[in-house]
Amino acid sequence: MDFVCAHAGRPASAITRRDVARALLAVPSGVALVALPDLRRAMMSAGNPLSLPFWESAKATLGSIESGVATVGDVQRWVESTGTEPILMTPSYFVWPEEDERGPVAEEMFDRLVAHLEKRVAAGEIDPDALAAGDQEARRAYEELQERWLSTPLPDGRVPGFAVNDEQDEELFAAWDEEEAFALEELRRIVADLPEQPELPVGELERAAARLRELLAQPGYPANVLRACAGYDDAPMPDDDRELWLAVAAGIVGPVSDLSENADVLEEFADLDRELSLEDATLANLCAVQHADWLAGVAALTRLGPGVLASPERIARLISESEDIDVDDQDVDDLDAIEALFLSVVSLWGYLGIVDETEVLTPLGWWGLPKALERAWSPAAE
């Protein structure tokens, strides 16, 4: 009882089902099972007996954990059935961060929701025993109550769900910016150490830019993807060949926008059975390439110089063997995944003249790839 009170930060008379569940899960399941009868008697002595369905559900869940058959989802569902544990993922796909990953805003909103749920339990609006028994109607009501709270403005005007998501986005962007800055620093170091600096092949650039202008004026793939990558759907193309080429090449590294042709993009992506179009799949692959993979792949190609094979398979192998990044021993599945992503990359590179029709790196690609990465990762490019 003392451990439960200390863990919850409350006196025995105020302990909730959630408090007990979390305390039981904080110790080995065998220890919790042994302590369960004494804990139940202590709660009764404190005038806070909870209920028989709760104690039975606790015994069943702890027994499943001890025997190794309980899943993480089973345990999470049991804690949620206490009536005051926020649902980890709501029906509208709002997801709470893991407890050790919550920022100040998420921590505050989570605690506010727990307090709100405790009031609803006290008012009889939530039936924890029905939740523990697996009553589907009670579960739906529990979910709807939380959905309403997450979308209802607080007195200070903040909407809890939006506030948590905004904080997560800020943390994600900060981590992304940090990773990007490190990758840019490494790229510049690698290029500076090259024994021979790539020179701009003016003739190749002019021919590639002319082909690119003609291509970008066309409908459909790949023009729509390249326009989205460079952000030229809503902006005019520059007259300068070098600026145009670098903008598109950098956009392949970091796409600027989505496909403007997809007016119902949210509705389309909500259809989980829908097969991705070539355009959507290509953009998804570009966005999935990690900074480290870009850095390792382009660094290797730049060191090797024009004439080197730059096929997706070769790039995946170069990344796996790179000394520029920390690479654990990769299995075939890892290499296959990287190769699959670079299928889209190398395909688009061909339209820019970065690789030729045999997927060999050209002098233009040798000159332009490091500059494309630098442009994509530089704050000035935003």
Tell me, yes or no, whether 181 lies in a domain: no
Residue 304 lies in a domain: yes
Per the domain annotation, does 183 fall within a domain? no
Domain shared by 11 and 135, yes or no: yes
Cα-flanking dihedrals φ and ψ of residue 92, to 5°?
Answer: -90, 10
DSSP annotation string for 90-139 = -TT--BPPPGGG--HHHHHHHHHHHHHHHHHHHTTSS-HHHHHTT-HHHH
Residues 153 and 242 occupy one common structural domain:
no
Q: In the chain, what's the furthest Cα-to-Cα distance?
A: 89
Whether residue 268 contacts residue 236, with contact meaning beta carbons closer than 8 Å, is answered with no
CA 265, 267, 270: angle at the middle one, nearest 5?
A: 110
How does the average pLDDT of the chain come out, rounded?
91
CB 363 within 8 A of CB 306: yes
Q: Are 274 and 323 in contact (CB under 8 A)?
A: no
Nearest-CA neighbor of 345 among 320, 371, 369?
369
Residues 293-301, mean pLDDT to the nearest whole number: 94
Q: Are residues 84 and 214 in the same domain?
A: no
The whole-number pLDDT of residue 274 equals 62
Residue 37 lies in a domain: yes
pLDDT above 90 as % of the chain: 77
- Interval 73-132: pLDDT, tens: 999 999 999 999 999 999 989 999 999 999 999 999 999 999 999 999 999 999 999 999
The domain total for the chain is 2
* Same-domain pairing of 241 and 375: yes
Q: Which residues of 134-151 are buried (b: 16+ CB within 10 A; e: fewer)?
A: eeeebbebbeebbbebbe
> Cβ–Cβ contacts within 10 Å for residue 352, how many?
24
Per-residue pLDDT at 204 exceeds 70:
yes
Residue range(s) defining the domain that contains residue 332: 194-381
pLDDT score recorded for residue 234? 73
In a domain, 177, yes or no: no
At residue 256 the predicted structure's pLDDT band, cuts being 50, 70 and 90, is confident
pLDDT (tens digit per residue) in 118-153: 999 999 999 999 999 999 999 999 999 999 999 999
Residue 182 within a domain: no
**Residue 97, by phi and psi: left (phi above 0), alpha (psi -120 to 50) or beta?**
beta
User: Using CA atoms, how far apart are residues 312 and 344, in angstroms rounded to an integer?
Assistant: 9
Residue 260 has pLDDT above 50, yes or no: yes
